[in-house]
Chain A
């Protein structure tokens, strides 16, 4: 790869990183897993004058469950860490289903969940999962920390809500109540391809009755979509076929797909409905190696 000339710094602490970002402002980009930024730099689609490599800041490499059951994912937690995590399969089925479907094994080894959210690619998988789970992003800057709901974090294609000088240090998934179920289903032409369409579904229920529902859509709009009406249509009901069919239809209605070389708009909308129905019916997607 032959990018434009850039400076490279590898701070050893968040304090050093903030100082570098303050000094270089818009010219600086934070480098974590590099699975989105490096290709952009390689193709000269992006030409940051300064790369601030945060891989040497060990306190960002974690994911853990708090006592209340909420999940915290540090900025250096790799997709592969989540794929192999013992924390996910029981209490976080949507996360567990998505982790092995992100890109390919090579990307998953280096890429990070927080980095994927920051990159704000409309075809990113994690953003849909975070929308379905009502996740949050913790932004930290020289003046302290603030919490940004996932639904507000992406402000446009490849644009996030971070202020200059801030680093997204953590993603947080709030604790669920009741019985948890959910999945992430993704149609891709080949392993590692972006989703033709993807659906994240997260359900909390008590006694068979849905008390909270989350549905996020991938690859069917200018950004990841939170299918709010479909979510609301489930709350207070048991997941019988009519209820599921209605939610599937509403989710498909929320999709804004475009025809491209991955498939027609009509098809993508149909896949959204099919996947929402399957996810709500307990369909288990085959898990990639």
Chain B
């Protein structure tokens, strides 16, 4: 009779295990970068440019140096002597560490002050006098491309205009032929406004260069510590073994903590120059005005349609506003990340995409804010285009999707832009969502309400997105392939420590990785400690972003556990005195085939690995695994929102939001639901209130939490979550990424619902955020509202 352990009871796959990291977080016992205090530590503060575009005529630091307690005032000129005034970006551009020639955006780093305490450091920053010669600022791609536009990147040899890249993908000719045969061509133009990941913990570092040993230790807020080590080795020309990056507890990343920022580099340089540890902790405004933003993309496109609703082809153009430096933190070989994953869930035979990036006098970045590198813009455009097409055809939006979604037996399928989508049950997810919301009933209610002057609307968003960069063919950083890693050590008593090359920032790895080990080995999850983020301890990995942890590092956890199990099987055979071929596995124990009661537990095998191994066997029970995924993972989601608009004020309320997520096998359902809830909250924020913009002088709007709004529990609607499970065909436990689905697919559901509610007015599009005044204006005028507020139709 089987003596296998109950997997859910030991905290394996499918257990909604309480998050083990929360015990310290909710007691205030976490250990964040700002909690690090080292003997003799100094404090650094950055002087930022008040102007968007200006030539630096002079910098007078004498008054700052004169303040008691100021230890160092660092300027770009001093950094240049160490060849560190500029640094490379992850998009093969360069970015100023400290400005030497010009400032190119408001908030750019100009100098920094190192002092005995953070108060004095700020006094020092205030005492620096910079003389600027203002230059005309450029705040959008149209201005950037004007014939007489000033050249922003005059530092780059051969750069004669403000274009930073051009890119295209797909088959233009085949697409053109498909358009020629179309019964209907549907068009859409929109702007996805600039947003900011805005983790509650801002960026920061404590750099500690030990001049006696030559070792540099940097505690920093990074989602990818191993990459940082490699980057520091290459940029600062320090030997890699003398660099230790420690990413302690991280208070949220959302893509913001992938890039290398000037503050990190300055803290390292200041530690080298002063010979003392130097702490830099960014404030909220510093984070919002200078670190990696998301989106800021203008999309124009069209869809070729047959009268019966079949999509024949799609083509669109994207203009991306990159800010002053092209520093998109993305590892793909494609210039606009995975923008071309658009329309992957639909059977679209032909497509063509063009894109162009421009430099502007705005903060650089273009990070993947809770998405896989421009996937959010792709899916938003896709779902807004789908709604516009259904409207143009006079077809029900659900029916239009039914006609065009890929069918279950069509996988694997190649998209017109080259992706291989490998699994899904799209129609089932859509139907589950429609049933949950009561689609037909709502449409009747909507028609009734309209007669009484009430504006109800329903919006759908369905999408699959590529999560889990990479595979090594198409994804790398600095040439390093996008694999990930895990190392597992099982101690003599059967307890274990697991380390991976990923880095949790709220995802709950300490909880969920243990569950994968538990699933593979039958060791209770509570007996496994998980550690990440210290490059001297953890195996080399590419970090956590793009929902890649479970698809890549999670797979490595599975694979290393299986290596351990393979060795344990040999130990079991030895203990049971049978040949290895006669040993069977059930969760938590090996037994003799045909004599199930005769067995040994995984813990007994562990003890034997240190006390009683067979002759010739290497002692110990530990191993590591490096995993290079064969493909991305393709979760699917269907989000359906219903809203009611107050037509007098334009204020809209979410009535319901139904989410159906298929992210394959769920390791910890509670953690997955948390991810979806968080993502939908961010999606709601984007659609309703959140944006950054710049005025004509290049002053940022949205550089603090008075102007850049995070939704609170008060206004965030409740979400109704449902699930479908289509296992990933290539992942060891069938899991797919999930962290970003809701933030990526959610915004279109809310916007489509509002547009559906005012469909009778003839308005086709209101650009996000759908602030009440914009909705009111659209209803009143019957005209589209474009561009970021407060500027209209720019």
The answer to whether residues A5 and B790 also contact, given A187-B772, A191-B712, A191-B715 and a CB cut-off of 8 A, is: no
Choose the segment among A52-60, A149-157, A235-243, A258-266 that binds chain B (4+ C-beta atoms closer than 8 Å): A258-266
Q: In the complex, which of the residues B122, B691, B715, B777 contacts A190, with contact meaning CB atoms closer than 8 Å?
A: B715
| B126 and A267 within 8 A (CB) | no
| A263 and B773 within 8 A (CB) | yes
Q: Report if B784 contacts A (CB, 8 A).
A: no
Cα-based distance from A4 to B118 in the complex (angstroms): 11
The answer to whether residues A263 and B707 also contact, given A191-B714, A271-B649 and a CB cut-off of 8 A, is: no
Max chain A CB contacts within 10 Å: which of B121, B122, B706, B771? B771
The answer to whether residues A44 and B122 also contact, given A190-B709, A192-B712, A267-B776 and a CB cut-off of 8 A, is: yes
The answer to whether residues A189 and B771 also contact, given A259-B790, A260-B790, A264-B790 and a CB cut-off of 8 A, is: yes
Kindly list chain A residues whose C-beta atoms are within 8 Å of the C-beta of B650.
267
Q: In the complex, which of the residues A187, A194, A261, A270 contacts B790, with contact meaning CB atoms closer than 8 Å?
A: A261
Q: Report if B651 contacts A (CB, 8 A).
A: yes
Binding site for B on A (CB under 8 A): 2-5, 44, 104, 187, 189-194, 196, 259-264, 266-268, 270-271, 274, 288-289
Pairs A–B under 8 Å by Cβ, sample size 7 = A2-B45, A44-B122, A104-B712, A189-B689, A259-B790, A261-B701, A267-B777
Q: In the complex, which of the residues A5, A271, A274 contacts B119, with contact meaning CB atoms closer than 8 Å?
A: A5
Kindly list chain B residues whose C-beta atoms are within 8 Å of the C-beta of A259.
790
| A187 and B689 within 8 A (CB) | no
Kindly list chain B residues whose C-beta atoms are within 8 Å of the C-beta of A289.
714
CB of A11, distance to nearest CB on chain B (Å): 25
Kindly list chain B residues whose C-beta atoms are within 8 Å of the C-beta of A196.
772-773
| B119 and A190 within 8 A (CB) | no
Interface string of B10-22 (1 = CB under 8 A from A): 0000000000000
Residue of A nearest to B714 (CB): A191
Kindly list chain A residues whose C-beta atoms are within 8 Å of the C-beta of B709.
189-190, 193
Cα-based distance from A191 to B689 in the complex (angstroms): 11
| B122 and A2 within 8 A (CB) | yes
Q: List B744-779 residues whose CB lies under 8 Å from chain A.
A: 771-773, 776-777
Q: In the complex, which of the residues B126, B688, B691 contacts A44, with contact meaning CB atoms closer than 8 Å?
A: B126
Cα-based distance from A2 to B651 in the complex (angstroms): 38
Kindly list chain B residues whose C-beta atoms are within 8 Å of the C-beta of A260.
790
Q: Report if B648 contacts A (CB, 8 A).
A: yes
Q: Report if B141 contacts A (CB, 8 A).
A: no
Cα-based distance from A41 to B270 in the complex (angstroms): 28
| B707 and A2 within 8 A (CB) | no
Kindly list chain A residues whose C-beta atoms are within 8 Å of the C-beta of B121.
2
Max chain A CB contacts within 10 Å: which of B688, B709, B711? B709
- Which 4 A-B residue pairings sit nearest by Cβ, starting from the closest? A263-B773, A267-B773, A191-B714, A190-B709
CB of A191, distance to nearest CB on chain B (Å): 4
Which interface class (under 10, 10 to 19, 20 to 34, 35 or more) fits B?
20 to 34
CB of A102, distance to nearest CB on chain B (Å): 14
The answer to whether residues A190 and B707 also contact, given A261-B789, A267-B773 and a CB cut-off of 8 A, is: no
Interface string of B93-133 (1 = CB under 8 A from A): 00000000000000000000000001101110010000000
- What DSSP secondary structure best describes chain B's contact surface? loop
CB of B440, distance to nearest CB on chain A (Å): 30
Interface string of B687-720 (1 = CB under 8 A from A): 0110101000000011000110101101100000
The answer to whether residues A2 and B118 also contact, given A189-B771, A192-B712 and a CB cut-off of 8 A, is: yes
Kindly list chain A residues whose C-beta atoms are within 8 Å of the C-beta of B773.
196, 262-264, 267-268
Kindly list chain B residues whose C-beta atoms are within 8 Å of the C-beta of A263.
771-773, 789-790
The answer to whether residues A4 and B689 also contact, given A196-B773, A274-B649 and a CB cut-off of 8 A, is: no
Kindly list chain A residues whose C-beta atoms are within 8 Å of the C-beta of B777.
264, 266-267
| A261 and B707 within 8 A (CB) | yes
| A194 and B706 within 8 A (CB) | yes
Max chain B CB contacts within 10 Å: which of A4, A5, A261, A268? A261
Q: In the complex, which of the residues A44, A190, A192, A274 contacts B648, with contact meaning CB atoms closer than 8 Å?
A: A274
Cα-based distance from A259 to B707 in the complex (angstroms): 14
Cα-based distance from A168 to B702 in the complex (angstroms): 34
Cα-based distance from A189 to B790 in the complex (angstroms): 14
Q: In the complex, which of the residues B648, B691, B701, B714 contacts A288, with contact meaning CB atoms closer than 8 Å?
A: B714
Kindly list chain A residues whose C-beta atoms are within 8 Å of the C-beta of B693.
261
Kindly list chain A residues whose C-beta atoms are within 8 Å of the C-beta of B701.
261
Kindly list chain A residues whose C-beta atoms are within 8 Å of the C-beta of B707.
261
- What DSSP secondary structure best describes chain A's contact surface? loop
Kindly list chain A residues whose C-beta atoms are within 8 Å of the C-beta of B651.
187
Extra A-B contacts (20), CB below 8 Å, given A190-B711, A263-B790, A264-B773: A2-B45, A2-B119, A2-B121, A4-B123, A44-B122, A104-B712, A187-B772, A189-B688, A190-B689, A190-B712, A190-B714, A191-B715, A194-B706, A261-B789, A263-B772, A264-B777, A264-B790, A266-B777, A267-B772, A289-B714
Cα-based distance from A258 to B680 in the complex (angstroms): 33
Cα-based distance from A5 to B69 in the complex (angstroms): 14
Max chain A CB contacts within 10 Å: which of B688, B772, B792? B772
Cα-based distance from A268 to B777 in the complex (angstroms): 11
Kindly list chain B residues whose C-beta atoms are within 8 Å of the C-beta of A3.
119
Cα-based distance from A136 to B688 in the complex (angstroms): 39
Cα-based distance from A104 to B119 in the complex (angstroms): 29
Cα-based distance from A4 to B121 in the complex (angstroms): 11
Residue of B nearest to A273 (CB): B648
CB of B240, distance to nearest CB on chain A (Å): 35
CB of A100, distance to nearest CB on chain B (Å): 11
CB of B188, distance to nearest CB on chain A (Å): 24
Residue of A nearest to B709 (CB): A190
Residue of B nearest to A275 (CB): B649
Kindly list chain B residues whose C-beta atoms are within 8 Å of the C-beta of A44.
122, 126
Residue of B nearest to A191 (CB): B714
Kindly list chain B residues whose C-beta atoms are within 8 Å of the C-beta of A190.
689, 709, 711-712, 714-715
Residue of B nearest to A268 (CB): B773
CB of A233, distance to nearest CB on chain B (Å): 21
Cα-based distance from A263 to B650 in the complex (angstroms): 11
Kindly list chain B residues whose C-beta atoms are within 8 Å of the C-beta of A194.
706
Kindly list chain A residues whose C-beta atoms are within 8 Å of the C-beta of B122.
2, 44
Cα-based distance from A203 to B789 in the complex (angstroms): 36
Max chain B CB contacts within 10 Å: which of A190, A270, A274? A190
Kindly list chain B residues whose C-beta atoms are within 8 Å of the C-beta of A193.
706, 709
Kindly list chain B residues whose C-beta atoms are within 8 Å of the C-beta of A2.
45, 118-119, 121-122
Max chain B CB contacts within 10 Å: which of A189, A266, A274? A189
Kindly list chain A residues whose C-beta atoms are within 8 Å of the C-beta of B648.
274
Kindly list chain A residues whose C-beta atoms are within 8 Å of the C-beta of B772.
187, 189, 196, 263, 267
Cα-based distance from A264 to B693 in the complex (angstroms): 15
Residue of A nearest to B122 (CB): A2
Cα-based distance from A182 to B689 in the complex (angstroms): 30
Q: List B647-684 residues whose CB lies under 8 Å from chain A.
A: 648-651
Cα-based distance from A44 to B285 in the complex (angstroms): 13
CB of A124, distance to nearest CB on chain B (Å): 14
CB of A278, distance to nearest CB on chain B (Å): 9
Cα-based distance from A116 to B137 in the complex (angstroms): 37
| B714 and A270 within 8 A (CB) | no
Cα-based distance from A162 to B648 in the complex (angstroms): 41
Cα-based distance from A18 to B405 in the complex (angstroms): 75
Kindly list chain B residues whose C-beta atoms are within 8 Å of the C-beta of A5.
119, 123
Cα-based distance from A192 to B45 in the complex (angstroms): 29
Kindly list chain B residues whose C-beta atoms are within 8 Å of the C-beta of A270.
776
Cα-based distance from A61 to B623 in the complex (angstroms): 66
Cα-based distance from A270 to B779 in the complex (angstroms): 14
Kindly list chain A residues whose C-beta atoms are within 8 Å of the C-beta of B123.
4-5
Residue of B nearest to A192 (CB): B712
Kindly list chain A residues whose C-beta atoms are within 8 Å of the C-beta of B126.
44
Kindly list chain A residues whose C-beta atoms are within 8 Å of the C-beta of B702.
261
Residue of A nearest to B776 (CB): A267
Cα-based distance from A97 to B122 in the complex (angstroms): 42
Residue of B nearest to A190 (CB): B709
CB of A140, distance to nearest CB on chain B (Å): 32
Residue of A nearest to B705 (CB): A192
Cα-based distance from A141 to B332 in the complex (angstroms): 68
